Structure 1
Amino acid sequence: MTSNSSAQFQARRRSLLWRLHFWSALIASPFVLVACLTGLLYVFTPQIERAWHGHLDTVQPQSQVRSLDDAVAAARQAAPEGWSLHSVIPAFEPDDSVRVAFTAPMPDKAQGGGHGGHSGHGAGAGAAQGKPQFLRPNFGIPARAVVVYVNPYTAEVLGQLKESERFATWARKLHSSLQQGDGWRWMIELAASWTMVMLVTGVYLWWPRPGQSGLPQSSAKGRVAWRQWHAFLGVALGLVSFVILTTGLTWSQNAGNQIKWARDATGQTPPRIPAQFKSTVTEGAKPLNWEQALQAIRREAPSVSMMVMAPKGPEGVWRANQMDRGDPSKRFDLLLDAYSGQKLYYSGWADQTAFGKATAIGIPFHRGEFGVWNQVLLFVFGAGILFSLVSGWVMFFKRRAAGSSIWPVVLPDAWRSVSPWAWLGGAFMLVAMPVLAISAVPVALAEAWMVWRKSRAAV
């Protein structure tokens, strides 16, 4: 291939990718703007919660801590009548309060083993089919719960609050569904899917050609300067963008199911807690109280803030897992015998699959849970995304002001410039992100209509 034909080939390919980049920006921009603004708000959750809920979350440290049973008993007295105790988050830091969560009574058919029979939770139809049964993953306090906050030193009730009214819960729902429920989660999935296309095509369009550095030039003016900074910042933030997009897609409804299928098919399913464990009932033996259970759990578990769930029924077991996601290496799940405190099951960081470890790092990073440096990085990332959106539209209007077409021009035979690997990658993205595939249909129809219209005009 001569240098002239090679340049023409590259020009055709770039024109096609530029068109695709424009489409992805056109579709994703409004949703990305919303996700970015709500995400920037969510980044500062620790500071906002400290200001809004500090009177419930923190206490003045004292010399003597009361038994956890005293705190739970005080919480029961303050809890809504008829509500069931769901879990307890004991104080970890000296100024932490004790959080005791209660949930409303469930219909009889849904009560089953609760969290805690731990000996029937999730058994359902699978048990009748002879399939292994596992406990449902524990992701923290349910949004429907009411949490009673207790001073661990005095057993004084500090107050109570619906978990749905916590700022973190509100901000998370705002970011994921604009407070409209799961039926609106498709918006974030649509944004993430097309932003992934925008990222891939943007990197290719930026990639320096021979004799170019890819860095913004101080001599550049006008639309050229906007384009250089737009491309450079987009690529500079590319790694963070990829992590944010992929972790976001794991939570999505459609792409998330595809990711879970691939995870399970490749043997990367994280450890699951078998549901068959039961406590050994011994005549005359008394079950552990909350304080005894907590001490037994602390002997087996890493030193981290944790959630504890009590046994359900005589054969139920104590269950505990970490609450603080800021140190993934302390992730654990633990089951204890209700009478002896003997360890029945334990899985920790070493038991996680590579996928499990990646998500245990990626998801807290996405949420800014690794501390101030994580929050600062996400803030810079969010500001960079906002600049990319603004600069992209500035370039569009400057191009329109110069008399150019709304749509980037696709050169003749551009489709023939696509490599087999690019076709394969595109097919993979469509399969992995179903919302992308569905939304790509009207794009393809619009492109076909424009081609037909152009051909008619040429006749």
Structure 2
Amino acid sequence: MTDSIARPGAPARATPTRPPTDRPTDRPTDRPTDRPTDQAAPTATPARRPRPPRDERARKKGGSGLFRAMWRWHFFASFLVVPVLLVLSVTGLIYLFRFQIEPLMHGDLMHIDTPAATEVRQSYAAQQTALERVYPDVTVVSMREPLEADDATAFSVVEADGSPRDVYVDPYGPDVLGSLDPDTTLSGTAVRIHADLMAGRFGDHLIELGACWAIVMALTGYYLFVRGAKARRRARAKDRPGARLRSRHGWLGAGVGVGLLFLLVSGLPWTGVWGETVQKLATDRGSSLWSTDPGALSDPTSSLDESLPHSHVQDVPWGMGASEVPRSTGDPEGSVANIDTAVEVAEAEGLRHPFTVAVPDTTTDEAGVYSVIGYAFDAPSDERTVHVDRFGGAVVSTYGFDDYPTLAKVVSQGIGLHEGRSLGLWSFWGAALMCVGIIAACVTGPLMWWRRRPRGAARIGAPRGRMPLRGSPVLLVGLVALGIVLPLFGLSLLVVLALDQLVLRRVPALAGWFDTV
């Protein structure tokens, strides 16, 4: 150790040198004298980090922002909404064209040969008698006038076991043409699926839940359409894969979104949770989605809606569905009215043709009335019902659109538009176009995801983002208000948030699969 350091005053020890050699060396030297004088020393280039995936880059740049959060909600809402909207749109189209479809499928029952000039149309009472001769065990509950000169008269009956049937009668015979079960026709099946998926209360709630989330999907879709306009234009300009489909889906959604929101809102009065809740609140405040007949001495257990079986061809107007049916108060010993009497009285009262006449069941209720309904198919404001006393044919009461509460008038007009009948052909073709547009949007949306899905990865490929509710009080208030106005949506939202916090974020495999931030 001491030899390695020179002592003070001692001569420095000579350092031995290696003799020069002519042997070349293959090792580079780092001595300055070995470097070229006109070239700088090379510098090491740092290794480049691989770029993170697109979703990861977006998350770091602003994945918790409002746009990606809206996109995520729009994405996951579609899993519930798309199947429901496809079912409602297809069945809605069938219902819109029911007057064209059913006569084509059952022309032998619904149509008659063009009558000769010498033939005379028989009375409705005679047609009812002919029906009861062929079907002695049924109970006639209603009669619908023919829409055209070559249409048969349709009677709705109930068989001994309680099942409904529609019986068609040639009014010029009168000859019974045959009968069918209205629930088994194409339009009848479509109506039943459209109402509750043919699954009763559960199906009704499922459709209502889908409709509520469809409202959310439409609202988030409009946000994405407006905020993402520049990005879509840039993507199309660079001809990126899927850019054209994404742009078309956006414009399609923007076009049908307003109509979709109207169809959803106008269809809510039929639902079992929202409809019943709003009706109860309205009733407590002296209003109603529909109403009762204020001029009738009514039987509280019988409503007009209960008096007629749903034949899916001509239903009771919405505002009159819960109206109470009055009682006959005339002299039972005097003259007895029939269907023809009721039709004559309704004509004198100014009701619009074609009529539907509810026929009283005299075997169980001798004091029943004939209720003549002027549906006014293309104008809900012309809807009227006249109740005709069975004994003597006097008018017991009349009830129509002018008697509806304000809320019932609004709902009735909305339902008329929902069914494509309030504005004639304009609303008819508008509703049909909306159904086709919704079907197209339900196809292009999943197709976009299918093209951009991560192949071979254990994740669904959802947009990553979290709603910035803490920094957006307006958004929070709006979300809470929507949950209160749509109770089923509010409850389902609480379930979704609880699952997200308590399950998805605690199980790494699920968090990765659902792309949870």
TM-score range normalised by the length of the shorter chain? 0.7 to 0.9
Cα distance between partner residues in 2 of 1:415 and 1:249: 28
Q: Which residue in 2 is equivalent to 1:124?
A: none
Q: Which residue in 2 is equivalent to 1:357?
A: 409
SS of residue matched to 1:207: helix
Greater relative contact order, per chain length (Cα 8 Å cut-off, separation 6+): 1
User: Does residue 340 in structure 1 map to residue 386 in structure 2?
Assistant: no
CA contact (8 A) 2:72 2:462 kept: yes
Deviation per residue, 1:19-43 (Å, 9 max, x gap)? 2222211222233333333333433
How is 1:261-272 mapped onto 2 (pairs within 5 angstroms)?
Answer: 261-265=280-284, 267-269=286-288, 270-272=290-292
Q: Which residue in 2 is equivalent to 1:409?
A: 464
How is 1:109-148 mapped onto 2 (pairs within 5 angstroms)?
Answer: 144-148=163-167
CA contact (8 A) 1:68 1:90 kept: no
Cα distance between partner residues in 2 of 1:146 and 1:405: 49
User: Does residue 392 in structure 1 map to residue 445 in structure 2?
Assistant: yes
CA contact (8 A) 1:304 1:330 kept: no
Count of residue correspondences: 410
Q: Which residue in 2 is equivalent to 1:26?
A: 79
Report how far residue 51 of structure 1 moved: 0.2
CA contact (8 A) 2:352 2:374 kept: no
Deviation per residue, 1:137-180 (Å, 9 max, x gap)? xxxxxxx3222211222211111222223332112113334444
Q: Given the superposition, is the C-alpha separation of residues 215 and 146 from structure 1 closer, same or farther in structure 2, using an over 3 Å criterion? A: farther
Structure 2 gap segments, 5+ residues each: 1-60, 300-325, 513-517
Q: Which residue in 2 is equivalent to 1:425?
A: 478
Tell me which of 371, 377, 380 is aligned to 1:328: 380
Deviation per residue, 1:242-295 (Å, 9 max, x gap)? 121123322222222223234434544133124164333337521123222211
User: Does residue 13 in structure 1 map to residue 95 in structure 2?
Assistant: no
SS of residue matched to 1:326: coil
Cα distance between partner residues in 1 of 2:410 and 2:101: 28
CA RMSD of aligned residues (A): 3.4
Aligned-residue sequence identity (percent) comes to 23
Q: Which residue in 2 is equivalent to 1:230?
A: 249
SS of residue matched to 1:416: coil
Q: Which residue in 2 is equivalent to 1:133?
A: none
Compare the two structures and name the one with the higher helix fraction.
1
TM-score where L is the length of structure 2: 0.70
Q: Given the superposition, is the C-alpha separation of residues 296 and 407 from structure 1 closer, same or farther in structure 2, using an over 3 Å criterion? A: same
Q: Which residue in 2 is equivalent to 1:125?
A: none
Report how far residue 452 of structure 1 moved: 4.3
Q: Which residue in 2 is equivalent to 1:151?
A: 170
Cα distance between partner residues in 2 of 1:434 and 1:353: 24
CA contact (8 A) 2:352 2:376 kept: no
Letter in 2 for 1:17: M
Q: Which residue in 1 is equivalent to 2:344?
A: 295
How is 1:31-430 mapped onto 2 (pairs within 5 angstroms)?
Answer: 31-59=84-112, 60-63=114-117, 64-79=120-135, 81-105=136-160, 144-207=163-226, 219=237, 221=239, 222-265=241-284, 267-269=286-288, 270-273=290-293, 274=296, 275=298, 277-282=326-331, 284-311=333-360, 312=362, 313-323=365-375, 325-369=377-421, 372-401=425-454, 406-410=461-465, 414-420=468-474, 422-430=475-483
SS of residue matched to 1:307: strand
Report how far residue 181 of structure 1 moved: 4.3
Structure 1 gap segments, 5+ residues each: 1-7, 108-143
Cα distance between partner residues in 2 of 1:419 and 1:262: 28
Q: Which residue in 2 is equivalent to 1:120?
A: none
Cα distance between partner residues in 2 of 1:258 and 1:283: 43
Specify the structure having the higher radius of gyration (Cα): 2
Q: Given the superposition, is the C-alpha separation of residues 337 and 197 from structure 1 closer, same or farther in structure 2, using an over 3 Å criterion? A: same
Cα distance between partner residues in 1 of 2:428 and 2:84: 22
Q: Which residue in 1 is equivalent to 2:54?
A: none
Cα distance between partner residues in 2 of 1:217 and 1:267: 56
TM-score where L is the length of structure 1: 0.78
Q: Given the superposition, is the C-alpha separation of residues 219 and 379 from structure 1 closer, same or farther in structure 2, using an over 3 Å criterion? A: farther
Q: Which residue in 2 is equivalent to 1:131?
A: none
Between 1:378-387 and 1:189-198, the stretch displaced more is 378-387
Cα distance between partner residues in 2 of 1:405 and 1:56: 53
Q: Given the superposition, is the C-alpha separation of residues 317 and 184 from structure 1 closer, same or farther in structure 2, using an over 3 Å criterion? A: same
Cα distance between partner residues in 2 of 1:244 and 1:296: 37
CA contact (8 A) 1:18 1:201 kept: yes
Report how far residue 197 of structure 1 moved: 1.0
CA contact (8 A) 1:78 1:148 kept: no
